Structure 1
Amino acid sequence: MFNLNSLQRNKTIKYGVPMLLLVVGGSFGLREFAQIRYDAQKIRKRLDPSLEAKVNPQKQAVILEEEYEKLKEIHLDEWKNIRGPRPWEDSREYQEQQRKNLSKTD
């Protein structure tokens, strides 16, 4: 009887242990709820491949031969490097100047 009364008056047992249980138990509970959320997102993102091809046509496989043919059509020998305006330069004025220089060289 003496031990039970002294334990009930002890502040560590009365307030510390429940707080510790709440913190530790809360972290485990939060982990479980977060895992449920992430599992639900995985299921929602997973689609049938044929349906995904209809929904997202951009994600279709790129055929290398087709891309090579597109690059062959572009005339890379006629390409000229034009630098952009500096932050302290007026961009419209600089673009007009570049266009004039291009038309002179053509």
Structure 2
Amino acid sequence: MFNLKTLQRNKTVKYGLPMILLVVGGSFGLREFTQLRYDAQKIRQRLDPDLEANMDMKRPSVTLEEEYEKMKENNLDEWKNIRGPRPWEDSREYQEQQRRSKTD
């Protein structure tokens, strides 16, 4: 029936079959690698319950209204935008110049 040389000459067997095996095998391989990634993230996210309780106690409960009241107290009419020095400028000299112009 089929001869081995006939199969080797067939373009579908020569190029198509390895391509299909590569695509199907690659999808299974990628699934395993991505699963490892998600498993590692789950492990990192787990914290000790005592540590987690301490973290929650240290966080102050700040509301949006409190922050809004703080921002209302700022006087934005006298605000001046001051740029930082560029890499080729001397930063100390530039800062002194900005301080002098700020007091004027």
| TM bracket, shorter-chain basis | 0.5 to 0.7
Give the match for residue 55 of structure 2. 54
Matches within 5 A, 1:1-106: 3-4=1-2, 6=3, 8-10=4-6, 11-12=8-9, 16=14, 19-41=18-40, 43-44=42-43, 51=52, 54=55, 63-86=63-86, 88-103=88-103, 105=104
Deviations 1:59-78 (A, max 9, x none): x8752111112213433344
CA distance in 2, matches of 1:22, 1:33: 17
| Distance across 2 between alignment mates of 1:9 and 1:67 | 80
**Size of the alignment, in residue pairs?**
96
| TM-score with structure 2 setting the length | 0.54
Change (3 A) 1:18 1:83: closer
Question: Could you tell me how far apart the structure 2 residues matched to 1:46 and 1:36 are?
Answer: 16
Q: Which amino acid in structure 2 is aligned with residue 9 of structure 1?
A: K
Percent of paired sites with the same residue: 39
Change (3 A) 1:25 1:96: same
Compare the two structures and name the one with the higher helix fraction.
1
Q: Distance in 1 between the 2:30 and 2:61 partners?
A: 37
Gaps of 5+ in 1: none
Name structure 2 gaps, 5 residues minimum.
none
- Cα gap change, 1:93 to 1:79, in 2 (>3 Å): same
Rg larger in 1 or in 2?
1
